């Protein structure tokens, strides 16, 4: 496993970081708690020492599962990344979207990162995670109803109190990162990035490279679309958000699989899966520090971890990039 520092900090993460969204079940059609715990522990034994979660993932369940999974592990050998700024218990902030919790109850998700809310969220996360500090604390989405400096002042206070080691952001524009930086030192931006979603290459990646900020790429396998396992006519389980995601339209599934057919010989020659090849491509892209990969069981966790060991030559990267030019989702 390879480890990379975030920004100019001394915080090192495994280049494949465990993404624990699906572990919370919410929007993924439920979860198997025991299998999720096994997946996190097996990932750790494979060198994936970094785990990314959030309160909204299962409304606390993902953080609780992560906390249970890391019990007994040496705390300073594990890097816990969590988030704040999405809440579902009241209507503070800006309405984001309607959803259902794991029990099927209707809930509304709001973006809210007022000072007191941030401090309270941190205490809840620490309790659920079973730890006394968070390695990287990230705002999940910008809250337009709260000044960025107010939000970041709360994070700076948490750093001073020793409850948070470093501050990060998620889904921030370059301008928002610059504004946040006036209040607290930002080490990273976690953003959506994959072979079929490369918009951040226009502004965010150049900004982060120039300002020595790290990028944590989430959904690098486009929530399973780039694994080659999603075929036309695929039926998602009830509650799986992908069924309504336009990336998974019949036309896009066909296009993506046509592209994957062009590169699958590379995976075959290396004795790896398409998903592993996609993960390796992601962490080899300029400006991308970490790729987040979820796993529903121990076997998937091992496969994700082994992606870090693949070698991709410059010619092979160019070959993949060449065929990507023809892939445009509708």
Strand partners, 265: none
DSSP string, 267-317: HHHHT--HHHHHHHHHHHSTTEEEEEE--SSHHHHHHHHHGGG----HHHH
Residues whose CB is less than 8 angstroms from the CB of residue 272 and which lie 6 or more positions away in sequence, other chains included: 306, 307, 310
Asked if residues 95 and 58 have their Cβ atoms less than 8 Å apart, the reply is no
Span 3-225+276-310 CATH architecture? Alpha-Beta Barrel (3.20)
Rounded to the nearest 5 degrees, what angle is found at the Cα of 223, between the Cα atoms of 315 and 4?
A: 55
Those residues of the chain that have pLDDT short of 50 are none
pLDDT of residue 21: 87
pLDDT in tens, 221-251: 988 888 877 777 666 666 666 766 677 777 8
Domain segments of the chain: what residues?
3-225+276-310
- pLDDT reported for residue 158: 98
**SS3 string of 209-265?**
HHCCCEEEEECCCHHHHHHCCCCCCCCCCCCEHHHHCHHHCHHHHHHHHHHHHHHHH
What's the pLDDT at 244? Answer: 67
- Please state whether beta strands 164-170 and 186-192 pair in parallel, antiparallel, or not at all (unpaired): parallel
Residue pair 66/98 in contact by the 8 Å Cβ criterion = no
- For the annotated catalytic residues, the residue numbers are 57
Contact in structure between 21 and 57 (CB atoms under 8 Å): yes
């Amino acid at each position: 496993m390879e480890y990379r520092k975030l920004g100019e900090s001394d915080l090192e993460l495994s280049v494949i970081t465990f993404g624990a969204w699906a572990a919370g079940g919410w929007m993924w059609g439920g979860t198997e708690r025991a299998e999720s715990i096994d997946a996190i522990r097996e990932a750790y034994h494979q060198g994936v020492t970094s785990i990314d979660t959030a309160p909204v993932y299962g409304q606390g369940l993902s953080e609780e599962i992560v906390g249970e999974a890391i019990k007994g592990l040496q705390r300073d050998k594990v890097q816990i990344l969590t988030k704040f700024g999405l809440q579902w218990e009241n209507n503070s902030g800006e309405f984001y979207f309607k959803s259902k919790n794991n029990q099927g109850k209707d809930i509304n998700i709001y973006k809210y990162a007022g000072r007191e809310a941030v401090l309270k969220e941190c205490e809840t996360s620490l309790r659920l995670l079973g730890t006394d500090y968070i390695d990287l604390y990230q705002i999940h989405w910008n809250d337009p109803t709260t000044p960025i400096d107010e939000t970041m002042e709360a994070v700076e206070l948490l750093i001073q109190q020793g409850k948070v080691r470093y501050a990060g952001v998620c889904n921030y524009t370059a301008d928002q990162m610059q504004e946040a930086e006036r209040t607290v030192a930002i080490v990273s931006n976690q953003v959506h990035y994959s072979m079929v979603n490369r918009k951040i290459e226009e502004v965010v990646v150049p900004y982060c490279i120039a300002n020595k900020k790290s990028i944590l790429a989430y959904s690098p396998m486009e929530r399973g679309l780039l694994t080659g396992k999603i075929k036309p006519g695929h039926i998602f389980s009830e509650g799986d958000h992908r069924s309504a995601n336009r990336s998974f339209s019949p036309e896009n599934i066909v296009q993506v699989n046509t592209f994957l057919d062009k590169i699958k010989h590379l995976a075959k020659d290396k004795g790896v899966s398409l998903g592993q090849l996609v993960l390796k491509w992601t962490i080899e892209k300029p400006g991308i520090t970490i790729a987040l990969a979820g796993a529903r069981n121990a076997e998937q966790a091992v496969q994700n971890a082994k992606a870090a060991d693949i070698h991709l030559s410059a010619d092979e990267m160019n070959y993949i990039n060449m065929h990507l030019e023809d892939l445009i989702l509708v």
